[in-house]
Chains A and B, each alone.
Chain A
Amino acid sequence: MTTHFHVPLPKPLHDIFRPPPTPGVLGVFAHLDATLEAVKKLRAAGHTDFTVYSPIPRHEIEDALGQPVSPVRMFTLIGGIAGCAIGAWLTLWMSYDWPIAVGGKPIGSVPPYVVIMFEMTVLFGALSTILGILFNAAFAARRLGTIQYDPRFTNDRFGVFVPAASDKAARVEALLREAGAEEVRRG
């Protein structure tokens, strides 16, 4: 007779990339204006954490959702400042650590080091921007859970997914149909 012990281990990566499914309703739209109408109606009905899928970024969708500006800009700023500081430290500290005296010129001369500081600003700024996009998108995905998706959303269809418990789903379905969804699915 054997006994199996099951110890649940934390799986942070799995939790980020495969969060538990969220019940809700998915509407598929063929037209941008119908999608916007659905967004407006949902916001008026008090829904907040719904997801809009679109094959391209559209300002109309951003405006209709009224989202705050992405925090990615802070990542860029901090990365850029850090890069500039690292560039200054690298050049000045290394120059004084092994001084090369040429023609009585200063050991740590800032004008040529500006080039390195600039390049490091761009390098660190760009890399932290990438991290900012990845982190923010991953955290949003984790917050929203695994939600319904349709492969047509990267082609020519727009989509709205509204998280809703089964007792409220019928009302959301009606709302999406009324806004002009060509297809509504519950999941």
Chain B
Amino acid sequence: MARVTYDYVTRTIARTLGAPTRGYFLLLGSAVGLLGVGIITLLFLLRYGLGLAGYSHPVYWAVFITCFVFWVGIAHSGTLISAILFLFRSGWRTAVYRTAEAMTVFAVMTAGLFPLIHIGRQWYFYWLLPYPNERGLWPNFKSPLIWDEFAIGTYFTVSTVFLIMGLIPDIAAVRDLATGWRKKLYGITALGWTGANEQWRHYTRGYLYLAALATPLVLSVHSVVSWDFAMAIVPGWHATLFAPYFVAGAIYSGVGLVITLLVPIRRLFHLEEIITVDHFENLAKLCLLTGSIVSFAYVTENFVAWFSGNASERAAFWYRAFGPYWWASWTMYICNGLLPWLLWSKKVRTNITALFVISIFVNIGMWFERYVIIVVSLAGEPYEPWANAVYNPTWADWGIMAGSFGWFFMWFLLFVKNFPAVSISEVKEVLPPPKRVAARAGARHA
């Protein structure tokens, strides 16, 4: 660690903003290509209607809503790492929180697209907003869907300002090293930051309150998303367990994606000294904790379905495990219920390759969790047996989903090349400050 000084941190992180390589452009090109697939699919959906997606009665919430919940969930771990661990004063968060926070903002941006795609007639999206209109209509505030709109809107706004706030001192640090047009760009975006005590004084206080506000917010947002389902009476949805279950699942999947993103960033940008194996181990522990909560929720859910004696509930869970969608359910149970148990082993937790592979399966599992909850619960409605249908996603569903990955990775890749993807000032905060006394002592030993 002796090598890691303030200057080393600034220069190492600023170097990540250097000229992009061919590999970077290749990645960015693939992301934009995937986004293109999504845009073309959306054009088809606009021209021919939502019938192109695989909707079949009674499954009218399907892959688009699955992707919505998936992306909102991804967002949550970013706020957990940046706000909740900030309040807990976890030193290790400093090296990873910026990546996680950027991931949050872009994941919410991705999630927000899905309700719009799902409504079919995007040009009427403003009907969701409480605006004065000639019919004197207002939204129904007793509907969880309107809660969701407020929750996601607030979450996007607050996580964006939180990200920007954290960036300001770092942009200033990069500004002071940059030349040419970048100096101008960072000069404007640093908002005149100099690190003066009158700036830090208000900044640190404000940051603390932002973290304190973001902490209950992040817990509320996925609770509200879960109430989109839990407030309805569909068996498999109507459970008081849903809010904590969804929040834990969200953080589990989000930490998974943080690991997926950090492994290549660390290698490509040579940040091994700043993002160490310890950081990955801590992320893996978070994954293990939240994964265990999710597993516990699976057990509870199935137990309650049996113990309640409710025939519909029992039928819904039997259909989940042994119905036509058994493969989706078992993918979910294995990836989320069994896989995190590998992380009990320190060998696995400190093996970056193993973590990378596990993190991908975590996200496959969590995507299927939402698919199982949404699609399978609707398809197997036991109180409406004449209306059961087997739903199958079509190319339109997959096209939009591919587009969402392209959209997310496009923003993420643009971010890591233009703004510091690791916090410069906060990484320095966990280093011992340069002191004369220490310098003298060091000189004596040398």
Interface residues in chain A, defined as those with a beta carbon under 8 Å from any beta carbon in chain B: 17, 30-34, 51-58, 61-62, 65, 67, 69-73, 76, 80, 90-91, 94-95, 97-98, 100, 102, 109, 112-113, 115-116, 118-120, 122-123, 125-127, 129-130, 132-134, 136-137, 140-141, 144, 147, 149, 151-156, 180
Contact = CB atoms under 8 A, between A and B. Distances in A.
A116 B141 contact: yes
Contact of B436 (A51, A151, A180): A180
B134 interface: no
Contacts of B434: 30-32, 156
B212 to A, nearest CB: 8
B351 interface: no
15 contacts: A17-B192, A30-B434, A55-B169, A56-B428, A56-B433, A67-B201, A69-B205, A102-B142, A115-B220, A120-B154, A153-B194, A154-B176, A154-B193, A155-B6, A155-B176
B217 interface: yes
B435 A32 contact: yes
B10 interface: yes
A18 to B, nearest CB: 10
A72 B196 contact: no
B224 A115 contact: yes
A95 B202 CA distance: 40
B220 A118 contact: yes
Interface stretch (B18-26, B36-44, B157-165, B394-402): B157-165
Contacts of A109: 142
B209 interface: yes
Interface residues of B, number: 63
Contacts of A67: 197, 201
Given A31-B435, A98-B138, A51 B202 contact: no
Contacts of A126: 157-158, 161-162, 210, 213-214
Contacts of A61: 197, 200
Contacts of A32: 433-435
Nearest to B158: A126
A100 B140 contact: yes
Contacts of A51: 196-198
Contacts, number: 191
Contact of A58 (B161, B172, B433): B433
Given A55-B6, A153-B194, 12 more contacts: A54-B197, A56-B426, A80-B213, A100-B142, A113-B141, A115-B151, A120-B154, A123-B153, A126-B157, A129-B206, A129-B209, A154-B195
Nearest to B196: A51
B176 A152 contact: yes
Contact of A123 (B158, B162, B196): B158
B437 interface: yes
B199 A137 contact: yes
A156 B8 CA distance: 9
Interface string B412-446: 00000000000001101100011111010000000
A69 B198 CA distance: 11
A115 B147 contact: yes
Given A51-B198, A56-B428, A116-B150, A31 B209 contact: no
B345 interface: no
Contacts of A130: 161, 165, 206, 210
Given A57-B429, A109-B142, A141-B192, A31 B436 contact: yes
Contacts of A73: 205, 209
A26 to B, nearest CB: 12
Contact of A33 (B7, B429, B436): B436
A57 B204 contact: yes
B150 A115 contact: yes
A154 B429 CA distance: 13
B437 A33 contact: yes
